[in-house]
């Protein structure tokens, strides 16, 4: 008798945002109906409320429902009440699973609108019939929505938020040049400069270039950009299955692809180059990408195939060496350490034999390209600093900030401008122009000379665009593995 007295009536209410807007079935109204039903039936047992506000009934991953089921399994509930069947679930399989659980623990299920109680055989039969009808109607709605969205996609209408670089005009994508220029730059950085997602995101954040939502760029954001077919003018719909908690990419046969559906930002050739690089799936850790050592992240051991990383040998004069990671970490490889200067020299000599000597005009053009790119980055960084200061001036004029905040922003702008002038005035120093001009006056500059004066990080990124790996078999014995179709 004590165990029975402790059991309670459970009132379950649920509403999703779109349902509340369309049908006006509020949570308060559901609770009022259920409490009134209890009073009308003369049930004096305490009623406990379980409320899911803003959750869909397409699955059972709802916090209040999970708490309710836990209380059912612990024997605290004798009766569960809802206003309508679809408040609990819209899927027949889920409903039958729940009913089986309720029966196992002696809990009856009552729906006030459908007027049945699963404590009786007729109530259970009615429940199953109504559940089947509800699932049938849900599938019909899904089919109608799919057909409508399919028609919209085939007519070139964009069905979701516009990607970075575009704006929506009457459900059509139009190019937004201030962002489109950055999209083109990201693709060039990825394909032509060989930079990875991490390096690109880092560069954009260092220049204080905001993303669409005003936040910092992330590896995922850059990756999604270079993989998005919208930038080549192709509309792709129904690619991702969002019906489950974890979004899954569907089979390609299920995709709806419409080429030339809107203006393209990226040329088709550049787009295919980007996809080929992605398909090659060469994983270089961000730490190796940023390493100042020329072969960091690409050099592999010819004995066991493991990666070779930089280490230091000797004391007190330390010497850079490339060591096999399998030998260093697990002692399972017989490979010895190699002086890094020697290995990098062997590599440069091999490249010089493989590639024709670089003439003066070509080398000068390469350096000019790097200078122009660096200058553009500095100018853009200063531009954004000026924009931030202008916004602070407006905020001060409107009385939103104090003079101290404005003064700090002005000092930051002046510092950025001073740094810009300083770097621009000494911009040619990293390339040692004087020494370069002396060499050019004597003979044509070779690729080896270029390796000695260009920034290592820039060189490494360029090399990765056509070199897959470098295998060290022994002294002066290197195997250079190129990317396919290079």
What number of other Cβ atoms are within 10 A of residue 340's Cβ? 23
pLDDT exceeds 70 at position 95: yes
Q: What is the pTM of this model?
A: 0.43
67-71, 100-104, 271-275, 411-415, range with greatest mean pLDDT: 67-71
Q: Is residue 148 part of a domain?
A: no
- CA torsion sign for 217, 375, 423, 412 is negative
Q: Where a domain ends, among 281, 309, 336? A: 281
Please give the backbone phi and psi of residue 113, each rounded to the nearest 5 degrees, phi first: -70, -40
Split at pLDDT 50, 70, 90, the class of 54 is confident
The conformational region for residue 399 under phi > 0 = left, psi -120 to 50 = alpha, else beta, is left
CA distance 181 to 361: 28
CA distance 309 to 291: 10
Mean pLDDT within 16-21 = 63
pLDDT score of 167? 92
> 417-471 pLDDT, tens per residue?
887 776 667 555 555 545 445 544 444 445 555 666 666 666 766 677 677 788 8
374 plus 274 within the same structural domain: no
Residue 64 CA: distances (Å) to CA of 54, 80, 104: 11, 13, 21
DSSP codes, 87-127 = GT-S-HHHHHHHHHHHHHTT-EEEETTTTEETTSHHHHHHH
32 plus 64 within the same structural domain: yes
466 plus 341 within the same structural domain: yes
pLDDT exceeds 60 at position 358: no
> 130-180 pLDDT, tens per residue?
667 767 776 777 677 667 766 766 666 787 788 999 998 888 889 999 899
Mean pLDDT within 343-363 = 67
Q: What is the mean pLDDT of the chain?
A: 77
- CA torsion sign for 472, 473, 478, 483 is negative
73-87, 359-373, 392-406, range with greatest mean pLDDT: 73-87
Specify the residue for token string 């077919």: 229
Please give the backbone phi and psi of residue 164, each rounded to the nearest 5 degrees, phi first: -55, 130
Ranking 17-31, 91-105, 219-233 by mean pLDDT, the lowest is 17-31
Q: Where a domain ends, among 213, 247, 281? A: 281
Find out whether 13 and 27 touch, Cβ atoms under 8 Å. Answer: yes
> 20-39 pLDDT, tens per residue?
545 557 888 899 999 999 98
**CA R_g for the chain:** 33
247 plus 175 within the same structural domain: yes
What single DSSP character describes residue 335?
Answer: P
57 plus 97 within the same structural domain: yes
Split at pLDDT 50, 70, 90, the class of 391 is confident
What number of other Cβ atoms are within 10 A of residue 235's Cβ? 22
Mean pLDDT within 91-106 = 81
Question: Which structural domain range is residue 19 located in?
Answer: 2-142
52 plus 183 within the same structural domain: no
327 plus 458 within the same structural domain: yes
Split at pLDDT 50, 70, 90, the class of 275 is confident
CA distance 20 to 338: 70
Tokens of 328: 């260093």
CATH number for position 183: 3.90.1750.20
Q: Is residue 9 part of a domain?
A: yes
Q: Is residue 378 part of a domain?
A: yes
**Residues 163-172 as b or e (16 or more Cβ within 10 Å = b):** bbbbeeeeeb
58 plus 193 within the same structural domain: no
Find out whether 191 and 279 touch, Cβ atoms under 8 Å. Answer: no
Q: Is 108 a catalytic residue?
A: no
3-class DSSP state for residue 173?
strand
125 plus 175 within the same structural domain: no
386 plus 368 within the same structural domain: yes
Split at pLDDT 50, 70, 90, the class of 183 is very high
Q: Which one is predicted more confidently, 179 or 477?
A: 179
Q: Is residue 206 part of a domain?
A: yes
CATH number for position 83: 3.40.50.1390
Q: Is residue 233 part of a domain?
A: yes
- CA torsion sign for 288, 293, 297, 302 is negative
Q: Where a domain ends, among 241, 257, 281? A: 281
pLDDT exceeds 70 at position 241: no
Residue 413 CA: distances (Å) to CA of 203, 408, 420: 20, 9, 10
Overall number of domains in the chain: 4
Find out whether 8 and 43 touch, Cβ atoms under 8 Å. Answer: no
Q: Strands across the sheet with 319-324, in order?
A: 308-313, 319-324, 338-339
Specify the residue for token string 């440069």: 348
CA distance 51 to 53: 6
* Percent of the chain predicted with pLDDT > 90: 15
346 plus 468 within the same structural domain: yes
192 plus 121 within the same structural domain: no
Q: Is residue 67 part of a domain?
A: yes
CA distance 303 to 426: 46
Mean pLDDT within 265-287 = 76
Split at pLDDT 50, 70, 90, the class of 284 is low
What's the length of the chain?
Answer: 486
Mean pLDDT within 264-286 = 78
Q: Is residue 152 part of a domain?
A: no
pLDDT exceeds 70 at position 45: yes
pLDDT score of 69? 94
Q: Is residue 161 part of a domain?
A: no
């Amino acid at each position: 008798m004590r165990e029975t007295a402790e059991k309670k009536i459970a009132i379950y209410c649920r509403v999703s945002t779109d349902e509340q807007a369309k049908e006006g079935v509020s949570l308060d109204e559901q609770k009022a109906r259920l409490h009134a039903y209890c009073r009308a039936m003369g049930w004096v047992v305490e009623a406990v409320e379980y409320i899911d506000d803003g959750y869909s009934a397409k699955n059972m991953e709802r916090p209040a429902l999970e708490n309710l089921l836990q209380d059912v399994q612990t024997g605290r509930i004798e009766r569960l009440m809802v206003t309508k069947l679809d408040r609990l679930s819209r899927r027949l399989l889920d409903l039958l699973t729940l009913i089986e659980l309720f029966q196992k623990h002696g809990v009856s299920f009552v729906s006030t609108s459908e007027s049945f109680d699963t404590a009786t055989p007729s109530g259970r039969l009615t429940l199953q019939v109504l559940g089947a009808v509800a699932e049938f109607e849900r599938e019909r709605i899904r089919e109608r929505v799919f057909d409508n969205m399919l028609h919209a996609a085939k007519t070139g209408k964009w069905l979701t938020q516009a990607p970075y670089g575009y704006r929506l005009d009457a459900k059509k994508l139009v190019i937004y040049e201030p962002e489109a220029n950055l999209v083109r730059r990201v693709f060039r950085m990825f394909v032509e400069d060989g930079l990875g997602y991490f390096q690109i995101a880092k560069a954009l954040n260092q220049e204080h270039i905001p993303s669409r939502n005003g936040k910092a760029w992330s590896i995922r954001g850059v990756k999604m950009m270079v993989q998005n077919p919208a930038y080549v003018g192709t509309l792709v719909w129904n690619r991702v299955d969002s019906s489950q908690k974890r979004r899954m990419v569907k089979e390609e046969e299920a995709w709806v692809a419409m080429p030339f559906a809107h203006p393209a930002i990226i040329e088709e050739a550049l787009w295919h180059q980007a996809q080929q690089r992605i398909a090659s799936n060469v994983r270089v850790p961000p730490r190796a990408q940023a390493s100042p050592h020329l072969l960091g992240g690409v050099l592999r051991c010819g004995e066991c195939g493991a990666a070779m990383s930089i280490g230091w040998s000797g004391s007190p004069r330390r010497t850079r060496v490339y060591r096999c990671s399998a030998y260093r970490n697990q002692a399972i490889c017989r490979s010895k350490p190699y002086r890094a200067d020697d290995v990098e020299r062997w590599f440069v000599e091999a490249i010089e034999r493989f590639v024709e000597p670089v003439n003066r005009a070509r080398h000068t053009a390469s350096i000019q390209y790097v200078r122009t790119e660096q200058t553009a980055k500095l100018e853009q960084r200063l531009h954004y600093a000026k924009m931030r200061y202008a916004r602070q001036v407006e905020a001060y004029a409107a009385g939103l900030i104090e003079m101290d905040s404005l003064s700090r922003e002005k000092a930051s702008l002046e510092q950025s401008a001073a740094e810009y002038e300083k770097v621009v005035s000494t911009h040619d120093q990293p390339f040692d122009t004087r020494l370069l001009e002396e060499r050019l006056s004597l003979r044509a500059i070779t690729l080896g000379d270029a390796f000695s004066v260009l920034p290592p990080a820039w060189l490494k990124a360029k090399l990765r665009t056509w070199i897959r790996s470098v295998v060290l078999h022994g002294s002066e014995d290197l195997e250079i593995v190129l990317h396919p179709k290079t």
